């Protein structure tokens, strides 16, 4: 794939990792079986994730982050309102 894109192997691998981290593709290693029965590593199979799933995951991450911020803000307000009796 790197030759087709005119990129180095490391650069192509970096871009593949980024796409995978963002949930845009799923990668899996394949194996081939030689004529003499020996199994060897094959190519990296890439599957493009449907856009509606990507958007759903993105919205879910945003909702989780908003919930975390809401809880954190609620706790900070509670701690600010808490009054301690004088010693």
Are 26 and 46 in contact by the 8 Å Cβ rule? The answer is yes
Average pLDDT taken over every residue of the chain = 88
Percent of the chain with pLDDT over 90: 49
Please report which confidence band the pLDDT of residue 50 belongs to, taking 50, 70 and 90 as the band edges. Answer: very high
Residue with tokens 């919205």: 59
The DSSP string of the chain is -HHHHT--HHHHHHHHHHHHHTTSEEEEEEEEE-TTS-EEEEEEEEEEPPHHHHHHHHHHHHHHHHHHHHHHHHHHHHHHH--PPP-
Question: What's the CA dihedral at 15, 21, 46, 30 to 10 degrees?
Answer: 100
């Amino acid at each position: 794939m790197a030759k087709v894109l005119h990129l180095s192997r490391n650069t192509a691998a970096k871009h593949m990792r980024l796409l995978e981290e963002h949930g845009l593709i799923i990668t899996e290693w394949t194996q081939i079986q030689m004529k003499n029965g020996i199994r060897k590593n094959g190519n990296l199979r890439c599957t493009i994730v449907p856009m509606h799933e990507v958007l759903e995951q993105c919205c879910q991450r945003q909702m989780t982050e908003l919930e975390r911020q809401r809880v954190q803000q609620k706790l900070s307000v509670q701690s600010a309102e808490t009054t301690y009796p004088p010693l």
